[in-house]
Every structure is written in structure tokens, then in C-alpha cells.
């Protein structure tokens, strides 16, 4: 359970917020199920209309839990199979009528008003009906539901609001001016012992495992300077806690930094290591990760499609983690008798995973009826693949090669899926016989010239049996390839792609923001710019533009919002990369860029550098419903004669404000909607080499990242699936919770 205690003025923005997250242990399969159920707390609350005990004001039910809100308590009842039942563990996990054990956690407000005014806020369109028994008088129909439950004046000048997101229960304390936060005292029952650990977290030791709640993080921004406010939990007795807050300016708002909800290694003991390249997340908070592994003991699940390592190294892998990060829903190898690596992943509304990458295996698993079931590349050369796994990870819905016979092969870098199940793939090809259909550019620019390479963009139908469209995208440069890396799809089926080009005749459109390539950066040098291109659902180009300065620039990741603005990130060495006024970092200092293009591709909404002189490179980007951009990548040290430093920009209170050490660290950064400020920015890494390769968001705006680490001390969380490394290099999966202050309640 995550809990926030929000202290705010009725006349001003939120002042203080306390953020913490409970996590149940996953020592056994039954505990993992409880933890997963625990992570899916209510979206709505039912008013009590006689369907439960009269003391209950509001309730919510779901798989494995029931929540009851009375006048003075919140009672959370978790159910799990009874391991002592004679039916056996298998029966307990599969039979709906299996005996269960219940664990109840009760939280009360000590010394609070005995009869606060309790009401529902934000009525929901859904109604609940109970038709139990034959007597209609006992039926309950049209029971209203609400997004929030509001307790008024639980303490003098202090209100309490309960609400939920798809995975957790949260509650805010709302203080009027002059109210005293020390009045708030929480009492707990159902725990054997309560303690505040060395990190300032709250730990409830209960039957079945420990329940943990992270230390609050509190800071204010005053005159443009971020100032951390000291505060946290304080013991008030054997089973009671309160909040302690240092002096703060009550006339200024306070901003909340994120915490790691979970962070885990993912890998085996292979000498070549394991790497996470792509990540996606579904509406329930399950994380889908893909990459490649050299480990014969990479963690797989019993009924996975391919639970045994294929003969050659590396193999691709696809792993689905539960919402709590405590266990695998499924995990499978994916490969044949030569090297295979996955680069991108997407997930549809049904939980099917779409994976793309490259393979040298002529026996890579393909399916009957797939668009291209046979390998066409020269021996020892790779070709792209596209694979769709069913929601259980046990069966291939379809799997196909995608490529031609080019001497340098073909590889894909990114994938997206629309609501109809069409898969959109981007990559790079050297094949003049790469499969095309309804193509904007039907031939490889440069023709059969040795070394010619273009990007490609392909849309596969929902069954993987045919191309909706497939096109080359590039110019005729003979100096270096034109490559495609990132792809995103909007709700209308328009595809947005990015990459880089060295061609001065890369296809652009009239009115595009930058119709011509910049550079070259020295006499006789090779110009290289990023590009951004938008295709309509039929494969025609809507707009296409260069994006860069006079040095090397590459587009790597792209996202799109509901209005059709494209958010692009990548690397730049150009001191004249196009930026806009008022952005967070308008001047060059080396590293990454983040650019927002308007829906027509004709102008920049904003564009900023991101990094320090120590250097940074971004690998992925995602955007939430409010227009906040989340960027992930890696940064290194800048070394002088006597010392090495990293000056990547971070925010006060970040979960890792300083460089972890070693050759490189990952980073995760969130920009506000105007690109003018960082909402949060943090390193992510240990004392080895760490890099973040992909980022994805859930509906609540929590960020999920994956990448690779050689650090034995990479930051992981208690109860995570794999808290320690198993080899010289492992993949990792980290979830970052981002909580912002709630709005002032209506009077």
C-alpha cells in the first residue's frame, strides 16, 4: 500500500507531501500472489447501502483484497490460499472455492473526531448491483461509486481524503492554515511489531512477512532554488507513528520527488552478460522487458514458450514482471542456433507482447502463415524479426522474419502497436530486395551500390501474415548509412519515426521545420542530422524534416501525445543544435537533446539540451497525458588532470542525486510540459557500468526503465524478484513512482 500524507493550505497550492510505499515479501508463491493483489487496489469506492456491516461508510473489493472505511478506521483484508489446507497448494491456487487465510491490517486516526462528516467525491459513471438470494428486499441496486472518499475535520483544521489508482490505496491529509501536523497520529493493528528502519522507512512486521513504507521525501522551490525540507516518521508508541516536519515556508508550494517502488536485477551467470533493451507496461502495471542474454540460467518460467537456452549465444529474451516487481508472470528465451537479440517491445490491450530485433538463426522460431517464414540473409548476416507472444508467454501468435539478402543484413530497432493489433517496425536495411508494399519509397536509395543502407518502416497486419505498407526511408549518401531507431503510433494510426541520416537528399516535405541537412562540420567531413518523419495510416508521408546542427546528431527515441506533437530525443555534438527560448538548458554543454515538434512538423514547440560537460546520451522517451516528457539514457565522467566528475543535472531529493561510480551511470529525467524545468532528474546506477536503454509509462505516470549493469551494488529494493546480481553483467528493471500534490479541495 502506498500512502501520502498531504499537508496543504486551502488558499494555496500543496505545501507538504509524505510519500511511502508498502511492499509485501515474495518468499513463496502464495505471498507473491498476495503482493500482486495488494498492488491492484481500487479505482473506485462503493457507498454502503446495506451490502455490508452498518459501520462501514465506503468499501472496495478486488481479487485478493477487501477494503472497508468506517468513521475512524481503514481496514484492509488480504486473502491468500491456506498452505495448511489438505487440498494442497496446487488446489489452493487454482480452485475459486479453495480455503484461504486472511490477513487484516487496520489503520486508525488516534485522538481524531469520532464522527467526522464522510462523503464521496468525484462520482463515477459505474453503478454496483447486489442480487443475492430470492428476496428482492435484500437486493441492493444502483449503488453509487466514487473516485475519492473525503473525511472532514478529522482533527481541527485537518481533512483526510482516500483515493486509489490501479495499483494502490493512497490518502492525503489536508491542513488549513494554522493546523498542526503533529496532531496526526496513525495507529496500526494486525502487525506484530512496528519500527522505523535505518533509512527512515516504516516497517510493519506481520504474519506472512514484512510490510514496508519508504521514507517521505519533501522539498520546496523558492525563488527558483529547490530546497529540501527535513521530515519523516516519528514513533508515538509501540504501534503508533506520527509525522515530524522541519520549519518550512508555508507561503510556498512544496514539490514531491519520486521514489523507487521496485528495482531488480534480471539475469543469469553468463560470461557475456544480459542486457535489457526495451520495455513496455500494460494498464495493470505489469512490465514487459526484452533484450538479449548469454546466460544458460537466465530466469525462465515453467510454461514459457522456450524455457531452455538455444545452442548459440546470445538468445533474445522476453520477460513479464508482476506489478509489485516481486515475481515473474512469464519469462522465455527466444532464439535459434545462431545469435539473436531483441531491441524493442510493445504490448496491446489484451496483454500480448510484440517483439522485434535481429537474428542470424536460419531456424529462428517462425509460425505457419507468417509473412516471411524463411531466412533470406547471407550466412553469418542478420535479418530482422517480428514476434507476437500470447498473454501467457507460452505460445507464439505469429513470428516472422523481415528482411532481404543485403550484404550487411537488416536489423530492427523499435516497434509499436495500434488498437487494431497492427505492428509498426523501424530499422535499417542494406537489402535492395527488402520487402515493400504501398511504399512511399519503393527502392533502396543508392541502388545496388556496395554499402548502401536506408532506414525502413513497415506496418504488419494484425495476424502477421501480410504487409499493410513497407517502405525504404533514406537518401543516397555513400559515406555512412541512413538508420532508423525510434517509432511511435498515435490513436489514429499515424506512425512517427526518428533516426539519423548522412544524406543531403533525405526526403523532406515542403514547410518542414528544417528542410536541408546542416554541416558538414569540417571541410570534407560527413554531415549527420537526426530526422523526424510522420506517416499516415496508409504509409504516405505527412511531414519529414531534418533535425540537427553542424556536428553529429542522432534521433534515438520518439513519443507522441494526444494532440499529435512528437517528442524526440537522442544525442548531439552540435553547439548550434536548434533550441528554443525559455527551455531548461538552451546552451550547449554536450550530450543529449529533447525536442517537441508541433503536429505539422513545421515548428519547434520546445527544444533543449540535456547533459553536462561529462557527456550524456539518451536512449528512450515517453510522454504522459499532461505533456510531461520522461527521458532515459546514460552519462559518463569527465576527467581532468587530477580528478573525474559528473555534472549531469539532477534535482534535490532525487532517489540518487550523485554519480554511482564506475564507467557510466544511467539517468531518468522528467521534463515539465513546456520543457522549461525538470520535475525530477536522477542518476541510476552503482559502482560499475550502468546504462538505461528504455522507458515506459503506466496510466498513472509512473516510469518503468530497463537497461544493463555491471554493478554489484546497483540500487534494488526489498522484496524485489532478484535483489542481487548473478553474473558479471545483468539486465535490470526499475519502477519509479512520481507523486504530485493533490488539488485544493472545494469548500
What is the DSSP code string of 490-519? -TT--EEEEEEE--TT----TT-S--S---
pLDDT at 738: 62
pLDDT at 72: 86
Is 100 among the domain residues?
Answer: no
Does one domain contain both 363 and 244?
Answer: no
145: confidence class by pLDDT, cuts 50, 70, 90? confident
Does one domain contain both 502 and 635?
Answer: yes
pTM of the model: 0.73
Note the pLDDT tens digit of each residue in 576-631.
999 999 999 999 876 899 999 999 999 999 999 999 776 778 899 999 999 999 99
Last residue of a domain, one of 192, 222, 256: 256
Task: State the pairing for strand pair 254-255/219-222.
Answer: antiparallel
Helix, strand or coil, per DSSP, at residue 182: helix
Q: Which three cell numbers stand for residue 154?
A: 478529522
Task: State the pairing for strand pair 185-189/240-245.
Answer: antiparallel
Q: With 50 as the cut, is the pLDDT of residue 538 above it?
A: yes
Note the pLDDT tens digit of each residue in 684-718.
999 999 999 999 999 878 899 999 999 999 999 87
What percent of the chain has pLDDT above 90?
53
Q: Which of 261, 214, 258, 291 is nearest to 692 (CA)?
A: 291
Which residues are CB-neighbours of 399 under 8 A, at least 6 positions away?
A: 364, 365, 366, 367, 370, 385, 386, 387, 388, 464
Does one domain contain both 250 and 307?
Answer: no
Last residue of a domain, one of 206, 223, 256: 256
Note the pLDDT tens digit of each residue in 445-496.
976 556 689 999 999 999 999 999 999 999 988 677 899 999 999 999 999 9
pLDDT at 520: 65
Q: What is the mean pLDDT of residues 61-82?
A: 72
Task: State the pairing for strand pair 629-636/638-639.
Answer: unpaired
Which residues are CB-neighbours of 44 under 8 A, at least 6 positions away?
A: 60, 124, 126, 145, 146, 147, 164
Q: Which three cell numbers stand for residue 133?
A: 438470494
164: confidence class by pLDDT, cuts 50, 70, 90? low
pLDDT at 614: 67
Q: Assess contact for 383 and 376: CB atoms under 8 A.
A: yes
Does one domain contain both 192 and 266?
Answer: no
Q: Which residue has the higher pLDDT, 230 or 389?
A: 389
Note the pLDDT tens digit of each residue in 227-253.
566 777 889 888 898 888 777 676 654
Note the pLDDT tens digit of each residue in 84-130.
444 333 333 333 344 445 667 788 889 999 889 999 888 877 777 76
Is 218 among the domain residues?
Answer: yes
pLDDT at 252: 53
Q: With 50 as the cut, is the pLDDT of residue 739 above it?
A: no
Does one domain contain both 419 and 560?
Answer: yes
Q: What is the mean pLDDT of residues 334-345?
A: 97
Q: Which residue range(s) make up the domain with 114?
A: 2-42+110-256
Does one domain contain both 568 and 647?
Answer: yes
Does one domain contain both 542 and 652?
Answer: yes
Does one domain contain both 342 and 459?
Answer: yes
Is 91 among the domain residues?
Answer: no
pLDDT at 22: 37
pLDDT at 653: 65
Which residues are CB-neighbours of 164 under 8 A, at least 6 positions away?
A: 41, 42, 43, 44, 45, 60, 147, 170
pLDDT at 718: 72
Does one domain contain both 667 and 731?
Answer: yes
pLDDT at 481: 83
Q: Number of H helices and number of E strands within the chain?
A: 2, 50
pLDDT at 251: 65
Q: What is the mean pLDDT of residues 720-730?
A: 94
Q: What is the mean pLDDT of residues 45-55?
A: 86
Q: Which residue has the higher pLDDT, 181 or 260?
A: 181
Q: Which residue has the higher pLDDT, 719 or 691?
A: 691
Q: With 50 as the cut, is the pLDDT of residue 1 above it?
A: no
The count of structural domains within the chain is: 2
Which residues are CB-neighbours of 312 under 8 A, at least 6 positions away?
A: 335, 336, 337, 338, 339, 340, 361
221: confidence class by pLDDT, cuts 50, 70, 90? low
What is the rounded average pLDDT for all residues in the chain?
Answer: 83
Q: With 70 as the cut, is the pLDDT of residue 207 above it?
A: no
Q: What is the mean pLDDT of residues 5-13?
A: 31
66: confidence class by pLDDT, cuts 50, 70, 90? confident
Does one domain contain both 591 and 632?
Answer: yes
Is 103 among the domain residues?
Answer: no
Q: Pick the range with the lowest mean pLDDT from 187-196, 464-473, 474-483, 637-646.
A: 637-646
Does one domain contain both 551 and 682?
Answer: yes
Write the CATH number for 503.
2.130.10.10
pLDDT at 65: 64
pLDDT at 128: 74
Is 82 among the domain residues?
Answer: no
Q: With 70 as the cut, is the pLDDT of residue 517 above it?
A: yes
Is 618 among the domain residues?
Answer: yes
Task: Please work out, in degrees rounded to the nearest 5, the angle formed at the alpha carbon of residue 77 by the alpha carbons of 72 and 78.
Answer: 150
Which residues are CB-neighbours of 523 under 8 A, at least 6 positions away?
A: none
Q: Which residue has the higher pLDDT, 77 or 310?
A: 310
pLDDT at 656: 87
Q: Which three cell numbers stand for residue 570?
A: 537522442
Is 75 among the domain residues?
Answer: no
Does one domain contain both 705 and 580?
Answer: yes
Q: Pick the range with the lowest mean pLDDT from 8-22, 430-444, 457-471.
A: 8-22
pLDDT at 79: 59
Q: In what order do the strands lie in the sheet with 410-417?
A: 410-417, 423-429, 454-460, 467-473
Task: State the pairing for strand pair 678-684/231-237.
Answer: unpaired
Q: With 50 as the cut, is the pLDDT of residue 13 above it?
A: no
Cα–Cα distance measured from residue 329 to residue 307, given in angstroms and rounded to the nearest whole number: 13
Cα–Cα distance measured from residue 373 to residue 367, given in angstroms and rounded to the nearest whole number: 7
Last residue of a domain, one of 256, 281, 305: 256
What percent of the chain has pLDDT above 70?
79
Is 95 among the domain residues?
Answer: no
Q: What is the mean pLDDT of residues 638-652?
A: 76
pLDDT at 7: 34
Q: Which residue has the higher pLDDT, 499 or 249?
A: 499
Q: What is the mean pLDDT of residues 5-24?
A: 33
Q: With 90 as the cut, is the pLDDT of residue 510 above it?
A: yes
Q: What is the mean pLDDT of residues 28-52?
A: 53
pLDDT at 555: 96
Q: Which residue has the higher pLDDT, 107 or 398?
A: 398
Which residues are CB-neighbours of 156 under 8 A, at least 6 positions away?
A: 179, 183
Amino acid at each position: 500500500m502506498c500512502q501520502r500524507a498531504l499537508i496543504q493550505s486551502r488558499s494555496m497550492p500543496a505545501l507538504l507531501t509524505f510519500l511511502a510505499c508498502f511492499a509485501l515479501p515474495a518468499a513463496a508463491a502464495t505471498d507473491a500472489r498476495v503482493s500482486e493483489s495488494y498492488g491492484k487496489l481500487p479505482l473506485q469506492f462503493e457507498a454502503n447501502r446495506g451490502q455490508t456491516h452498518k459501520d462501514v461508510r465506503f468499501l472496495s473489493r478486488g481479487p485478493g483484497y477487501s477494503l472497508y472505511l468506517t468513521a475512524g478506521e481503514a481496514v484492509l483484508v488480504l486473502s491468500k490460499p491456506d498452505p495448511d489446507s489438505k487440498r494442497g497448494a496446487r488446489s489452493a491456487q487454482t480452485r475459486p472455492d479453495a480455503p484461504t487465510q486472511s490477513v487484516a491490517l487496520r489503520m486508525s486516526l488516534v485522538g481524531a473526531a469520532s464522527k467526522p462528516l464522510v462523503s464521496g467525491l468525484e462520482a463515477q459513471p459505474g453503478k454496483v448491483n447486489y442480487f443475492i438470494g430470492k428476496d428482492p428486499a435484500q437486493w441492493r441496486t444502483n449503488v453509487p461509486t466514487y473516485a475519492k472518499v473525503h473525511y472532514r475535520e478529522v482533527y481541527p483544521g485537518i481533512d483526510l481524503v482516500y483515493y486509489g489508482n490501479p495499483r494502490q490505496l493512497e490518502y492525503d491529509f489536508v491542513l488549513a492554515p494554522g493546523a498542526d501536523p503533529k496532531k496526526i497520529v496513525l495507529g496500526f493493528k494486525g502487525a506484530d511489531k512496528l519500527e522505523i528502519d535505518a533509512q527512515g522507512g516504516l516497517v510493519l512486521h506481520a504474519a506472512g512477512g514484512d510490510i514496508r513504507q519508504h521514507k517521505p521525501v519533501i522539498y520546496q522551490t523558492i525563488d527558483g532554488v529547490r530546497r529540501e525540507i527535513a521530515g519523516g516518521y516519528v514513533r508515538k508508541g509501540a504501534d503508533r507513528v506520527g509525522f515530524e516536519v522541519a520549519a518550512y515556508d508555508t507561503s510556498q508550494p512544496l514539490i514531491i520527488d519520486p521514489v523507487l517502488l521496485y528495482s531488480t536485477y534480471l539475469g543469469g551467470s553468463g560470461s557475456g552478460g544480459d542486457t535489457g533493451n526495451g520495455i513496455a507496461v500494460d494498464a495493470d502495471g505489469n512490465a514487459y522487458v526484452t533484450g538479449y542474454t548469454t546466460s544458460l540460467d537466465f530466469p525462465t518460467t515453467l510454461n514459457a514458450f522456450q524455457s531452455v537456452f538455444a545452442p548459440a549465444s546470445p538468445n533474445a529474451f522476453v520477460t513479464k514482471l508482476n506489478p509489485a516487481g516481486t515475481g515473474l508472470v512469464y519469462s522465455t528465451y527466444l532464439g535459434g542456433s545462431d545469435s539473436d537479440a531483441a531491441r524493442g517491445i510493445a504490448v496491446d490491450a489484451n496483454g500480448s507482447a510484440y517483439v522485434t530485433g535481429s537474428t542470424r538463426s536460419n531456424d529462428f522460431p517462425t509460425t505457419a502463415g507468417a509473412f516471411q517464414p524463411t531466412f533470406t540473409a547471407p550466412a553469418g548476416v542478420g535479418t530482422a524479426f517480428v514476434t507476437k507472444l500470447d498473454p501467457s508467454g507460452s505460445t507464439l501468435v505469429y513470428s516472422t522474419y523481415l528482411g532481404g539478402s543485403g550484404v550487411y543484413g537488416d536489423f530492427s530497432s523499435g516497434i509499436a502497436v495500434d488498437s487494431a493489433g497492427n505492428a509498426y517496425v523501424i530499422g535499417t536495411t542494406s537489402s535492395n530486395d527488402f520487402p515493400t508494399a504501398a511504399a512511399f519509397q519503393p527502392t533502396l536509395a543508392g541502388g545496388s551500390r556496395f554499402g548502401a543502407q536506408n532506414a525502413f518502416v513497415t506496418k504488419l497486419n494484425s495476424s502477421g501474415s501480410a504487409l499493410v505498407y513497407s517502405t525504404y526511408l533514406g537518401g543516397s549518401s555513400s559515406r555512412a548509412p541512413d538508420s532508423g531507431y525510434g517509432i511511435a503510433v498515435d490513436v489514429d494510426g499515424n506512425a512517427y519515426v526518428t533516426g539519423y541520416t548522412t544524406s543531403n537528399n533525405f526526403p523532406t516535405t515542403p514547410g518542414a521545420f528544417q528542410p536541408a541537412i546542416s554541416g558538414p562540420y569540417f571541410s570534407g567531413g560527413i554531415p549527420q542530422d537526426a530526422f523526424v518523419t510522420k506517416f499516415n495510416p496508409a504509409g504516405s508521408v505527412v511531414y519529414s524534416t531534418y533535425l540537427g546542427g553542424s556536428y553529429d546528431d542522432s534521433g534515438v527515441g520518439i513519443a507522441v501525445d494526444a494532440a499529435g506533437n512528437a517528442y524526440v530525443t537522442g544525442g548531439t555534438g552540435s553547439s548550434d543544435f536548434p533550441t528554443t527560448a525559455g527551455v531548461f538548458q538552451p546552451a550547449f554543454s554536450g550530450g543529449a537533446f529533447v525536442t517537441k515538434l508541433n503536429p505539422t512538423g513545421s515548428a519547434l514547440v520546445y527544444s533543449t539540451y540535456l547533459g553536462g560537460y561529462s557527456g550524456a546520451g539518451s536512449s528512450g522517451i515517453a510522454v504522459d497525458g499532461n505533456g510531461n516528457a520522461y527521458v532515459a539514457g546514460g552519462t559518463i565522467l569527465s576527467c581532468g588532470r587530477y580528478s573525474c566528475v559528473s555534472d549531469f543535472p539532477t534535482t534535490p531529493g532525487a532517489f540518487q542525486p550523485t554519480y554511482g561510480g564506475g564507467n557510466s551511470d544511467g539517468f531518468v529525467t522528467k521534463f515539465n510540459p513546456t520543457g522549461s524545468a525538470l520535475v525530477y532528474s536522477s542518476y541510476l546506477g552503482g559502482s560499475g557500468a550502468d546504462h538505461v536503454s528504455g522507458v515506459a509509462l503506466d496510466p498513472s505516470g509512473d516510469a518503468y526503465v530497463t537497461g544493463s549493469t555491471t554493478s554489484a551494488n546497483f540500487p534494488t529494493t526489498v522484496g524485489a524478484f532478484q535483489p542481487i546480481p548473478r553474473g558479471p553483467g545483468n539486465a535490470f528493471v526499475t519502477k519509479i513512482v512520481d507523486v504530485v500534490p493533490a488539488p485544493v479541495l472545494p469548500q
